[in-house]
Chains A and B, each alone.
Chain A
Amino acid sequence: MTKTKNFKLFVLISAALAIISTVRLWTDQDALTSSDTIGTALRLTVPILLAGMAGLWAERCGVLNIGIEGMMIFGTWFGAWGAWQFGPWVGLLFAILGGMFGGLVHAVATVRFNIDQVISGVVINLFAYFGVRYLSELVYVGKPGGGISQSPPQKWALPKFNMPILSGGEIAGWKSPDFLGWLESQRWFILGDLGGISRGLTHSISWATVIAVIVVPVSAWVLWRTRFGLRLRSSGESPVAAESLGVKVNRLRYYGLLISGGLAGLAGGTLSIVASSYYRQGQTAGRGFIGLATMIFGNWRPSGILTGAMLFGYAEGIKLVASDSITALFLLIASMSGVFLLYAIISRKRSQMLLTMCAFVLSAIAYRTIDTVPESLTQSLPYVVTLIVLATANQRLRPPAMAGVPFRPGEPH
């Protein structure tokens, strides 16, 4: 069973690589899989990934968390403050604590006082936005480089590392060869893309990125393989049944929201400490909401969230690194949907046929007619993608059954 599944995955990935590689050679847009693009994409993936995981922890324990954006804002501000005062590692710790504060407020409001979870989240977003502005006025105004909407720049940055031998990292002072970089520069079919992608994933990686990526398997293990995780998920699926078995539902929801807030804070911290070196108002730019979208896209599962976050990160990364290769993306989407169309015709799935046909025709027309996409429109790409994904995949998604429903322990049901 797992063998055929693995085989299927292998075929799928190779097919995708072959298509990407063909499109790259056809359009001469090396940026599609260059290590630059992939590296940037990875950096942009991290905050969205962490925000998505924050959403996962909250909803799995039964509480909707619209306030992730606000908790991220706390993370950016406190993270930047800690990093400015004490260095980047302490900064990350402060970011987590700042986010946990937001999570605690959300927990007290929704678990202790049972108020509407969406309302609490929205108010936390507002509170965070103006709260840190108030703090900035107190702390940053008048400091060199600081002001009401930004913090002074930090003096230290987190260390980065390169993988030895593969991407030119150093081993005890010896500079090892950059094998993947060489592979990438050869531009061979598939091999060149593999080189670019793996170099992007192993070259000048910040340690914060490593932590963020580790969060995914650790969350999956804790939520699905430990007693704590089982109980936490049961408070999101059926709190009444869980309570009847002696599970302290409300206490678990507190834990879940604290973890959720901490992850959201870390997401904010990576923005103000890793991706840049200062706090700026509006730095989160709606990534908390995109994180929520990836959580839905990923069907409330860590692996799905990782996939969704990478998709968003890639879309944003390619926009930053090589905005002129966006037209090549149309060709990429056209050929991918073409393959899916063939598959749908072979397996005679009518609804899929229609959908992929639409995607194929639209993206093909877009590739033939559009030379440049206006900057203002590419901004909305991730949001449009989210809506399209939700519109097409919504029927197969299954959220935790009781997420969003207030629960009062000890009341008759």
Chain B
Amino acid sequence: MRKSLNTLGSSVAAIILALVICGVLLLITGKNPLMAYGKILETGLTSEKLLEMLKRATPLIFSAIAVAIGFKMNLFNIGVEGQYLFAALIAAEMGTHVSLPAPLHVLFILVVAMVSGAAWASIAAILKITRGINEVISTIMLNYIALSFIQWIFETFFRDDSDGGLNVKTTEIAPSGRMPDLVHDRLNGMFIVALLVAFLYWVIVFRSRFGFQLRASGLNPIAARTAGIPANRMILFALLLSGAVAGLVAMPSVIGDVYAYGPSSTPTQFGFAGITVALLGRNHPFGIIVAAMLFGFLDSTSAVLQLSEIPSSIVKVIQAIIVLVVVIVNEASSRRYNRKIAEQAALSPKSLDVSR
């Protein structure tokens, strides 16, 4: 309890510190930081923008959980970007080839997306297990390979040419395969799925035997192996699971908004944003949801900032600085916390017995 309070306190302090740093940056570049922050709060706290915040948070939650599953096992999955774009294309195309009743159709598309995301992630897993290639390098390479591979399959096979080549999308998914909106045109049902995935992530990684083995392998691989936890199998499972969740990232767009895959209509860059959200949320499901909402909130206000002559990309700069400062402050505070615990342990008489 004390530790989580400690974490919460340091995170809030870090966010304030980051806002101060950004304020200085704004001042140097000749903008008024108080006005900018005031504008962000003023426009962000309307019901319309708060719904947009939830909408923007949805893909971030998926992406961050995908990254966090890897982190829990000490694997850095930078390849979420490639995994979800690949999954979006395959799921959008497969979704047009089946006719099922509504809930099953949606479920089918979601499963296809998860399987294709996991399939793309499995390449990195196999390379790591059989050839020992670091997943950081292989997933970065696989991101670029995915981009051109997707472009090629899309242009040659999946592009819907029915209206004279003007349409740069796959065929639209039938209404039975669409996820209904929670609030018409403002918030899609995928938000509920995101919360569900966050809950499942908590159950599987923090409360199950498998999750225990996963976290143990991440914290101390040698001890885990000694305890009989198969290292290679954990790598494979962690990356498959991560890829499966990554497959859902673009679903709010594919089955909730556009109902198709298109190079320009399917959003990109969520894989990298997910890394920052996972770091900010410290890989904990609750933290990730809060962090995703914070980022969604900031993103939703960027268009209004533009109107008041403050460059909208400052929002992204704020996000990057927040993450860097949060990571630094967390590292420093956890080190201080550990030292304090160690000192207390050294002072209590019990520790003498332990040491003997």
- Report A's interface with B, CB cutoff 8 A: 66, 105, 109, 113-116, 118-120, 122-123, 125-127, 129-131, 133-135, 137-138, 286, 289, 292-293, 296, 374, 376-377, 379-380, 383-384, 386-387, 390-391, 394-395
Given the known inter-chain contacts A137-B313, A394-B132, please indicate yes or no for A296 contacting B148, CB distance below 8 A: no
- Of A113, A130, A131, A383, the residue contacting B144 (CB under 8 A) is A383
Number of B interface residues at 8 Å Cβ cutoff, please give it: 43
Q: How far is the CA of A374 from the CA of B152 in the complex (A)?
A: 7
CB–CB A384/B320 < 8 A: no
Q: How far is the CA of A126 from the CA of B29 in the complex (A)?
A: 20
Given the known inter-chain contacts A134-B311, A380-B144, A383-B144, please indicate yes or no for A66 contacting B136, CB distance below 8 A: yes
Does chain A have a CB within 8 A of B97? no
- What are 12 A-B contacts defined by CB distance under 8 Å? A66-B136, A115-B331, A119-B275, A123-B324, A134-B311, A137-B312, A293-B141, A376-B152, A380-B148, A384-B145, A387-B141, A390-B133
**CB-nearest residue of chain A to B149:** A380
Min CB distance B80 to A, Å, is 12
Q: How far is the CA of A120 from the CA of B272 in the complex (A)?
A: 13
- Of B138, B142, B317, the residue contacting A131 (CB under 8 A) is B317
**CB-nearest residue of chain B to A131:** B317
Min CB distance B163 to A, Å, is 22
Per-residue contact bits, chain B 115-147, to A (CB 8 Å; 1 contact, 0 not):
000000000000100011100111011101101
Does chain A have a CB within 8 A of B110? no
Given the known inter-chain contacts A116-B327, A387-B133, please indicate yes or no for A126 contacting B272, CB distance below 8 A: yes
Does chain A have a CB within 8 A of B151? yes
Find chain A residues with CB under 8 A from B136 CB.
66, 118
Within 8 A of A (CB), among B303-328: 311-314, 316-317, 319-321, 323-324, 327-328
**CB-nearest residue of chain B to A382:** B144
Find chain B residues with CB under 8 A from A131 CB.
317, 320
- Of B78, B131, B142, B151, the residue contacting A391 (CB under 8 A) is B131
**Shortest Cβ-Cβ A-B pairs, 10 listed:** A137-B311, A130-B316, A127-B320, A380-B148, A379-B148, A376-B151, A376-B152, A133-B313, A134-B313, A383-B141
**CB-nearest residue of chain A to B26:** A134
Given the known inter-chain contacts A115-B331, A130-B313, A134-B313, please indicate yes or no for A387 contacting B324, CB distance below 8 A: no
Given the known inter-chain contacts A137-B313, A289-B140, please indicate yes or no for A394 contacting B324, CB distance below 8 A: no
Known: A123-B279, A126-B320, A134-B311. 16 other contacts (CB 8 A): A120-B324, A120-B327, A126-B272, A126-B319, A127-B320, A131-B317, A131-B320, A134-B314, A374-B152, A376-B151, A380-B145, A380-B148, A383-B141, A387-B133, A394-B133, A395-B132
